[in-house]
Amino acid sequence: MLAAGLSLTVCAIDASAADAASAATAADATVQPAGKWKIAFGPGLFVSPQYPGSRDLRVFPYPALDISYDDRIFSQGPDVLGVNVLRGDDYHVGAAITLDFVSRHESDDPHLHGLGNVNAGPKLKLFADYTVWMFTGSVAMYQDIAGHHQGKTVLTDLYASLPVGGWLFSAGPGFTWADAVYTRTFFGVSNQQSAASGLPVYNTGAGIRDVHLNGYVSYDFSKHWVGSVAVTLGRLQHHAASSPITERRTELNTLASVNYRF
């Protein structure tokens, strides 16, 4: 979802971090100058688990890009192309094709040998957000459209945002629901996988994947330059938490960028 507020671009492996930043900016619609075109880009850095349930983190740079026209059509971070079908001063409803970089490979960790690889790919995103005063509620559904058995996830979040001078602070809780396909792919162990990996058979189903807390801070250095940091701290639940694949229940996702706004 693309807001009419601060230009922030996020390229997310974990969708909750991306939506945290997007919904935070949606709460502040007074910063950018008037004009139908809004363009910003700059360098960014992303930190996330190596794979869902991993004890290791990976860090990599990414190009931060944020382009929108008339708050209708946008390309923002992992959302390669999206449209706000319905929009107003305090709400957005729309769809996007988004790149999800969540993956898992046997080479990521020795205890994954025999489980097979899970590749990343594009997903269809349907979203909605609504803002009342300083509070923004958002929901986003991600559906795998690449045939990589990543199924469907739904993120629900609530944020409180406070602009102070050139600063914007935002924080709030959320949770992620995952369908049986997603949970089986990332946290289940079939009979065949058990025989190949030595891990016990583990059956899964749909349910709450995680609960998380989002934090977001941005600062306008000048009319054109803005820096931002989005952090999501999550805790795996139910099937994801108890899986023999999971080595750490706590998940940390951090996105930082410095953007130049035209």
Spatial separation of the C-alpha atoms in residues 228 and 189, rounded to whole Å: 39
**Least reliable range by pLDDT among 8-17, 45-54, 64-73:** 8-17
CB atoms closer than 10 angstroms to residue 173: 12
Residues of the chain above pLDDT 90, percent: 81
pLDDT averaged over the chain?
89
**This prediction's pTM:** 0.88
Only one residue has tokens 């957000």, namely 129
Helix, coil or strand: residue 197: helix
Task: State how beta strands 37-49 and 207-220 pair.
Answer: unpaired
pLDDT (mean) for 221-237:
96
Spatial separation of the C-alpha atoms in residues 64 and 51, rounded to whole Å: 22
pLDDT (mean) for 191-207:
97
* Tokens encoding 3: 């807001």
Asked if 261 contacts 226 with a C-beta cutoff of 8 angstroms, the reply is: yes
- Evaluate if residue 26 carries a pLDDT over 60: no
Spatial separation of the C-alpha atoms in residues 213 and 176, rounded to whole Å: 11
Spatial separation of the C-alpha atoms in residues 107 and 29, rounded to whole Å: 44
pLDDT (mean) for 63-68:
90
Label residue 63 by pLDDT band (50, 70, 90): confident
Label residue 30 by pLDDT band (50, 70, 90): very low
Spatial separation of the C-alpha atoms in residues 151 and 153, rounded to whole Å: 7
Asked if 207 contacts 178 with a C-beta cutoff of 8 angstroms, the reply is: yes
Among 6, 42, 186, which residue's Cα sits nearest to residue 100? 186
pLDDT for the residue 77: 80
Task: State how beta strands 167-178 and 121-132 pair.
Answer: unpaired
Spatial separation of the C-alpha atoms in residues 261 and 163, rounded to whole Å: 19
pLDDT tens figures, 106-164: 999 999 999 999 999 999 999 999 999 999 999 999 999 999 999 999 999 999 999 99
Spatial separation of the C-alpha atoms in residues 42 and 37, rounded to whole Å: 17
- Evaluate if residue 176 carries a pLDDT over 90: yes
What CATH architecture is 15-261? Beta Barrel (2.40)
Looking at per-residue confidence, does 186 or 62 come out higher? 186
Spatial separation of the C-alpha atoms in residues 175 and 133, rounded to whole Å: 22
pLDDT tens figures, 41-57: 999 999 999 999 999 99
- Evaluate if residue 5 carries a pLDDT over 80: no
Spatial separation of the C-alpha atoms in residues 226 and 260, rounded to whole Å: 7
